[in-house]
């Protein structure tokens, strides 16, 4: 019997993916997790009815979530990933040779274990890198209590449903500000402006109360159905968003010019060019 798995994130818009082979389908301590094979998107993981990662296009989101903040910052030594249990952002972040430590704070151990098993090419050994530190905890609690301070924080979270809802609150962003070093940078998964406009508007509104510079950049991942995804941007260093192509090229060369499939110095600069309907959401 053919099985079609439905994405249930949006109110009036649903997508079905054919599950040619189901590899895992059960509740974890925190959420419903399913992993299956699909002819068009490759191996796919969904949490609570929402696509989290697909092997065919995961490089787009993971490269942008890691390289945009790390090349913009340019001197990051310590980074924090909130969520990110599939290991894709960790993989890309650890390609920056000057990074001394990357902490990944994930609430659901089962996501890490199942992704290491069913998506080994996504973490690609990153979990075994001596610079990687894994913490199983709620991200809001971690940023409120940690004694560590970070140059860059990347919030690779689920959507504002279930355990991820708290990661879109002012209290969480204030916690992130608390554990950022002066001039540090926060980047967040912030949904699809075309279908989740209020989410981006609210988050950037909170950023504006807490940071000198609050904005966003865009990139489209086909398996995040519904148009370009927004990445929230918050820092007290106004210059970080202003870097030109040449400066980003120099930094990429200094990092060994590692090959990428989506991020590039040109894409980096262009990602901040927001169309008016998104600009309206991030402006005061």
CB of 156 to ligand SAM, least distance (A): 5
What's the burial of 272, exposed, middle or buried (CB within 10 Å: 0-12/13-18/19+)? middle
Q: Is 168 in the site for ligand SAM (CB under 6 A)?
A: no
The one-character DSSP state at 89 is H
Question: Which DSSP helix (H) or strand (E) runs through 143?
Answer: helix 139-145
The full DSSP string for 194-212 is: TT-HHHHHHHHHHHHHH-S
Stretch that binds ligand SAM, among 17-25, 117-125, 145-153, 160-168 (CB under 6 A): 160-168
CB of 129 to ligand SAM, least distance (A): 18
CB of 165 to ligand SAM, least distance (A): 8
Q: Which residue is nearest to ligand SAM (CB)?
A: 83
CB of 247 to ligand SAM, least distance (A): 28
Q: Is 230 in the site for ligand SAM (CB under 6 A)?
A: no
Q: Is 86 in the site for ligand SAM (CB under 6 A)?
A: yes
Give the strands of the sheet with 150-156, arranged side by side: 132-136, 101-106, 78-83, 150-156, 180-189, 229-235, 213-219
- Site size for ligand SAM, by CB under 6 A? 24
What gap in Å lies between CA 21 and CA 35, rounded to an integer?
9
Structure tokens at 88: 């894709």
> Of residues 161, 166, 174, 210, which one binds ligand SAM by CB under 6 A?
166
> Of residues 103, 189, 190, 203, which one binds ligand SAM by CB under 6 A?
189
What gap in Å lies between CA 139 and CA 157, rounded to an integer?
9
Q: Is 164 in the site for ligand SAM (CB under 6 A)?
A: yes
Stretch that binds ligand SAM, among 67-75, 164-172, 232-240, 266-274 (CB under 6 A): 164-172
Stretch that binds ligand SAM, among 67-75, 81-89, 198-206, 259-267 (CB under 6 A): 81-89
> Of residues 38, 52, 103, 235, which one binds ligand SAM by CB under 6 A?
52
Site string for ligand SAM, 98-137 (x = CB under 6 A): -------xxxx--x--------------------------
Stretch that binds ligand SAM, among 76-84, 118-126, 207-215, 269-277 (CB under 6 A): 76-84
Classified as helix, coil or strand, 261 is: coil
Among left, alpha and beta (phi > 0; psi -120 to 50; other), residue 277 is: alpha
Residue of 121, 70, 117 whose CA lies nearest to 95? 70
159 is catalytic: no
List Cβ neighbours of 170 (8 Å cut-off, separation of 6 or more).
Answer: 206, 209, 210
| Catalytic sites, residue numbers | 156
């Amino acid at each position: 019997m053919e099985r079609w798995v439905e994405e249930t994130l949006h109110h009036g818009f649903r997508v079905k993916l054919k599950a040619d082979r189901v590899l895992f389908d059960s509740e974890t301590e925190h959420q419903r997790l399913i992993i299956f094979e699909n002819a068009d998107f490759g191996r796919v993981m969904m949490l609570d009815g929402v696509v989290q990662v697909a092997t065919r296009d995961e490089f787009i989101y993971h490269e942008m979530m890691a390289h945009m903040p790390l090349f913009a910052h340019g001197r990051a030594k310590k980074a924090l990933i909130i969520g990110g249990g599939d290991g894709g952002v960790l993989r890309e972040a650890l390609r920056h040779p000057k990074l001394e430590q990357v902490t990944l704070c994930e609430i659901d151990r089962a996501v890490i274990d199942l992704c290491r098993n069913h998506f080994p090419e996504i973490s690609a050994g990153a979990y075994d890198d001596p610079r990687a530190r894994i913490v199983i905890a709620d991200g809001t609690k971690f940023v409120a209590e940690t004694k560590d301070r970070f140059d860059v924080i990347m919030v690779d979270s689920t959507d504002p449903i279930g355990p991820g809802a708290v990661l879109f609150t002012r209290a969480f962003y204030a916690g992130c500000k608390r554990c950022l070093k002066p001039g540090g940078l926060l980047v967040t998964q912030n949904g699809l402006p075309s279908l989740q406009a209020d989410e981006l508007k609210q988050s950037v509104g909170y950023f504006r109360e807490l940071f000198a510079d609050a904005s966003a950049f865009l990139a489209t991942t086909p398996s995040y159905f519904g148009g370009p995804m927004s990445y929230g941007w918050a820092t007290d260093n106004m210059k970080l968003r202003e870097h030109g192509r040449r400066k980003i090229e120099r930094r990429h060369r200094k990092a060994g010019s590692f090959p990428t499939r989506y991020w590039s110095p040109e894409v980096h600069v262009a990602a901040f060019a927001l169309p008016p309907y998104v600009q309206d959401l991030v402006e005061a």
